[in-house]
Every structure is written in structure tokens, then in C-alpha cells.
Amino acid sequence: MKPLLEVRELGKVYPLRQSFFRRTVFTALQPTSFQLMAGKTLAIMGANGSGKSTLAGLIAGAIQPSQGEILLNGQRLQPDNYRQRAQHIRMVFQDAEASLNPHLTIGSQLEEPLLFNTGLNQSQRRERVVHTLQQVGLLAEHMVFYPHMLSTGQKQRVSIARAIILNPQLLVADEALATLDSSVRAQIINLLLDLQQDLKMSYIFISQSPEIVRHLADDVLIMKDGRIIEQGAVDTVFDDPQERYTQSLLLSELT
Ligand SMILES: Nc1ncnc2c1ncn2[C@@H]1O[C@H](COP(=O)(O)OP(=O)(O)OP(=O)(O)O)[C@@H](O)[C@H]1O
């Protein structure tokens, strides 16, 4: 079986200081390679600053790579072609509040990706918005709400709705559950699992929580200082971590 996503030697350096004589760079991500099969969930764990968000941003196209390539279904993604990527790979962020526009109704915010990326007419767009709201456990009436009228959990549902409205093959969630309280978190985890079953999506899931990763993910990458130091099936890595750093991470000593 061919992988959905293939990351080959993907790396990111940031220029730190530049002068006529000297150019200093900081390596946020060492050349990194891995694969993700369709319908599977890959978790990325690591201490703060280990490069998790950089890797997520590179895959979602929000950050331009310094080297390497990403293939989706065997097709190379063009780093600067946001439209090509937006159809297939979408991102959900930690702070739903900050990622929603307070001045626009939920309906207009969900319609936006459809306007930019599809040829649907107005009534087809409306139909898709209503359907997507229902898929994430909200109501058609929520279309006319503004973000401040929703609870934290409902806002995260809207973020998920916006991410799935184009029927992506891959959802990248960067600490999407970190700020939610435990009962809302459990509801959103169940929603993500249901959506994955129904829509056959793959997930890349950044989380500092061993419990959440064990519950949601099939495989895990452990990152330290911009590189993968351990990887494998979640049960294998969690039950018998080979690196001391992984052991500490699983005991939540490094976060
Ligand atoms: N635009 C930038 N310019 C320079 N350095 C950056 C930039 N963005 C990130 N970095 C650095 O790259 C490293 C990796 O950052 P990244 O945000 O990917 O880590 P992370 O594992 O997601 O951390 P956290 O859990 O704190 O979000 C950090 O040392 C960070 O300071």
C-alpha cells in the first residue's frame, strides 16, 4: 500500500544574523523523513522548542521549507502553491478563539474556504456549511452566530468544521486540545475519532499529553532539538521507550 503522505529530508533553518561577512542560522528542523498511511493518526511529541510546530507548519504549507519535499498520494506538493495544499491538508490550532474572526458570523467564516477553493454557487455553499456544522455536532442556526456567542468547545468545533469543509485527506492539529477542560476535551476527542471514521481522514496530532496520544494515535514521533529521536507504533514506544528523553516526556517531566 502506498503512503498518503511522504516527507523526505524536510528541513528548516532560520537566519539569525546576517552581515556582509557572516551568516548565522538556527536549525529548527534537521532533515526529517517519515510516512503516514491513509486513515492513520501520527502523533508528534517533544518538549517545548523541539520543532513540532515547525514540522506541522511545513506540512500544512504555512512555513516554507529550507530543504526537502512532501508528497501527497505520490504527488509532490509545491511549497508556494497554497491553493493546491489547502484542498488536501488543513490545520486546526490550539487557540480556536484566536483563529476565528470576531467580526464575521460563523457562516461567513465557513463559507470562505468554499469561495476561494471551489466553484460551488451560493445555495450549494450554504448547503455544505449546514452539513459541515451538523457533522461537528452544531446546528444550522449557528451560521448566524458570532464567535463570542459560542462556548470554548463550540468554537473548537467551528475550527474543526472550517478544517474539514473542503474534505481534506489530512488534518494537522497543533495542540488542538491543550486549552480545553477535561469534559470538553473528551467530547472533541470523540468527535475527531468519529470524523476520522466517517471521512477516512489521516491526522497529524501534536500533543504533549501521553494519555491523549495513546487514545488517538497509531504511531508517534518523538522530537528533540529539531530531530526525530524515536518513532514507532504508540504501544511499542510507550511500553518500551528506548531513549531516556522519551521516558521523561512520557512522565511529563519535560513539558
Ligand atoms: N520564525 C522563527 N525564527 C527563528 N527561530 C524560530 C522561528 N520559529 C521557531 N523558531 C525556533 O525553532 C525552534 C522550534 O520551534 P517550534 O515552535 O517548532 O517548537 P515546538 O516544539 O512546537 O515548541 P512549543 O511546544 O513551545 O510550541 C524553537 O527554538 C524556536 O524558537
Which has the higher per-residue pLDDT, 244 or 21?
244
pLDDT of residue 175: 86
* Centre of ligand 1 from the C-alpha of residue 70, in Å: 20
Q: Is residue 100 part of a domain?
A: yes
Residue nearest to atom 16 of ligand 1 (CA): 51
- Asked if the structure places residue 255 within a domain, the reply is no
List strand residue ranges (DSSP E) for 59-169, in order: 67-72, 75-76, 89-92
pLDDT band at 168 (very low <50, low <70, confident <90, very high): very high
Q: Is 14 in the pocket of ligand 1 (CB under 6 A)?
A: yes
What torsion do the CA atoms of 166, 172, 173, 175 make, to the nearest 10 degrees? -150
Q: By the 8 A CB rule, do 185 and 229 touch?
A: no
In a domain, 115, yes or no: yes
pLDDT tens per residue, range 146-162: 999 999 999 999 999 99
- Answer whether residue 122 is part of any domain: yes
**pLDDT confidence bin for 12, thresholds 50/70/90:** very high
* C-beta separation of 167 from 5 below 8 A: no
- Is the minimum distance from the CB of 48 to ligand 1 under 6 angstroms? yes
Which pLDDT does position 255 carry in this prediction? 54
Condensed to tens digits (0 to 9), the pLDDT of residues 172-192 reads 999 878 878 888 899 999 999
175 domain residue, yes or no: yes
ipTM above 0.90, yes or no: yes
46 lines ligand 1 (CB under 6 A): yes
Domain containing 189 — which CATH number?
A: 3.40.50.300
Ligand 1 and 51: CB distance under 6 A: yes
Ligand 1 center to residue 42 CA distance, Å?
Answer: 20
Q: Coil, strand or helix: which one is 220? A: strand
Instruction: Kindly state whether residue 63 falls inside one of the protein's structural domains.
Output: yes
The verdict on residue 89 lying in a domain is yes
Total domain count, the chain: 1
Q: Which of the four pLDDT bands, split at 50, 70 and 90, describes residue 254?
A: low
Supply the range of the domain harboring residue 181.
5-250
User: Whole-angstrom Cα distance, residue 52 to residue 135?
Assistant: 29
Neighbour count for residue 124 (Cβ, 10 Å): 12
Percent of residues, the chain, with pLDDT higher than 90: 78
| pLDDT exceeds cutoff 90 at 114 | yes
